[in-house]
């Protein structure tokens, strides 16, 4: 004596992760009243087994609704597959029923980095291309985002924010650095190439030369609010939603505002401008016998320097007075003009030996000027100039 179960319908086809619903009719086919437990499941899935106990009189039937949560992808790699679902009385499987349902793999955007334009100079844009393929069985609407190696870059951006040179929130977590992103919609089996950029220039002024790991990730809609960056690791060879690559940011052209001046190995601050001497070589007459042009003498410009006037600081005036009075020991000095990179490190240096002031110009004063800085200027001659690379 047993109940019998008939499956009348399901909500299939379903997508992986959705709840599978079964509508069943349970009938007492015996001549006596019976109380028995019926159960429903998918394939050999034990964790998702659902049970209900019914008491039915002879010939009586009842409708039973089963919900089996999170039917998962377990067989093969096809975007769509079939699973057996069943309903039966406990202990009497021969009185049960089974049907086959269609399950579709959800959208899955797999990302693979194709290349970058690295190395680039600081201040240029890094351009990364990646292939995004929907390996799932449903249409995918996801965000593809570019991030950088967060630990190293976050410290730079946070420091820049505190210094007022960047809009990055200094209190935001280091992993919350999304450099670029774009939305993508891909049908099952469709792939597209996406281009993402990282501007290492003025908008991220604190970016230092070095190597950075860039990550690309496809972010499903349900993770978009909580997502805090991809996992950096192995290259994408397994259909992962994330991929990574390492790029190099090199020193770009030096900026004219980052320099120091040393006089006799002592740094002298406060310079507004320094015109490093140029040099030019004369072109002599054309020689017809061999078709060449000779060059003549080379001339060298003077060093032109302008500095803000400070109370009690008379070093330039005193230096020129030593020249005027013929004091050779005090009148000749060694000058170094040092060009710095964005980290304050020396990148180039011009050394002028046996330098002496040929002209000293005190500040021009104007009672009508509003906020102009008083400056003094000097013109410096020298015996030799060398450029030194670091």
At 156, is the secondary structure helix, strand, or coil? helix
pLDDT of residue 53: 95
Assigned CATH class of 3-104: mainly beta
Establish whether domains 3-104 and 109-250 are of one fold: yes
For residue 175, the surrounding DSSP H or E stretch is none
> How far is the CA of 45 from the CAs of 100, 104, 229, in angstroms?
14, 18, 34
Record: fold of 109-250: Immunoglobulin-like (2.60.40)
Q: Which two three-digit tokens encode residue 369?
A: 């000027």
CA distance to 127, 148, 230, per residue, from 194 (Å): 10, 17, 17
**160-212 pLDDT tens trace:** 444 444 444 433 333 447 788 888 899 989 999 999 998 887 644 557 777 88
Specify whether the CB–CB gap between 377 and 361 falls below 8 A. Answer: yes
State the pLDDT confidence band at 103, using cuts at 50, 70 and 90.
confident
User: Of 330, 263, 340, which Cα lies nearest the Cα of 303?
Assistant: 263
Transcribe 66-88 into DSSP letters.
EEE------S-S-SEEEEEEEEE
Question: What is the second-level CATH architecture of the domain 259-389?
Answer: Roll (2.30)
Q: Residue 333: which of 322, 349, 346 has the closest Cα?
A: 322
pLDDT attached to residue 146: 87
Q: Where are the domains of the chain?
A: 3-104, 109-250, 259-389
Average pLDDT rounded to a whole number, residues 297-307? 94
What is the residue-averaged pLDDT of the chain?
A: 82
Distance, in Å, from the CA atom of 7 to the CA atom of 14, rounded to the nearest integer, reads 17
Check: CB of residue 284 under 8 Å from CB of residue 351: no
Q: Which residue has the tokens 């951006």?
A: 157
Q: Average pLDDT of 75-80? A: 64
At 74, is the pLDDT very low, low, confident or very high (cuts 50, 70, 90)?
low
């Amino acid at each position: 004596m047993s109940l019998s179960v008939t499956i009348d319908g399901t909500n299939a086809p379903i997508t992986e992760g959705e709840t599978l619903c079964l509508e069943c009719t349970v009938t007492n086919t015996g001549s006596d009243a019976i109380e028995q437990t019926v159960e429903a499941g998918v394939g050999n899935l034990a964790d998702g087994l659902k049970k209900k106990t019914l008491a039915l009189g002879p010939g009586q039937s009842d409708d039973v609704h089963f919900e089996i949560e999170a039917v998962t992808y377990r067989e093969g790699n096809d975007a769509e597959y079939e699973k057996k679902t069943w309903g039966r009385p406990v202990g009497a499987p021969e009185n049960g029923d089974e049907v086959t349902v269609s399950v579709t793999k959800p959208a899955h955007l797999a990302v693979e980095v194709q290349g970058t334009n690295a190395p680039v100079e600081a201040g240029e844009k890094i351009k990364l291309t990646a292939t995004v393929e929907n390996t799932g069985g449903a249409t995918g609407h996801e965000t593809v985002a570019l991030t950088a190696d967060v630990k190293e870059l976050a410290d730079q951006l946070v420091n820049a924010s505190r210094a007022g040179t960047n809009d990055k929130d200094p209190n935001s977590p280091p992993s919350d650095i999304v450099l670029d992103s774009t939305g993508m919609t891909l049908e099952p089996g469709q792939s597209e190439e996406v281009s993402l950029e990282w501007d290492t220039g003025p908008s991220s002024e604190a970016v230092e030369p070095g190597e950075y790991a860039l990550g690309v990730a496809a972010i499903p809609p349900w993770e978009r609010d909580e997502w805090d960056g991809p996992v950096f690791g192995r290259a994408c060879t397994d259909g992962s939603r994330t991929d990574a690559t390492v790029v190099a940011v090199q020193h770009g052209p030096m900026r004219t505002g980052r320099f120091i001046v040393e006089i006799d190995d002592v740094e002298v601050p406060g310079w507004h401008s320094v015109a490093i001497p140029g040099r030019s070589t004369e072109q002599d007459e054309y020689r017809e016998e061999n078709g060449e042009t000779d060059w003549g003498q080379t001339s060298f410009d003077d060093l032109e320097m302008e500095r803000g006037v400070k109370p009690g600081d008379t070093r330039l005036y005193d230096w020129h007075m030593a020249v005027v009075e013929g004091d050779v020991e005090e009148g000749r000095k060694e000058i170094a003009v040092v060009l710095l990179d964005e980290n304050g490190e020396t990148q180039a240096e011009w050394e002028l030996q046996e330098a002496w002031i040929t002209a000293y110009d005190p500040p021009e004063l104007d009672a009508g000027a509003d906020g102009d800085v008083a400056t003094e200027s000097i013109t410096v001659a020298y015996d030799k100039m060398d450029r030194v690379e670091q």
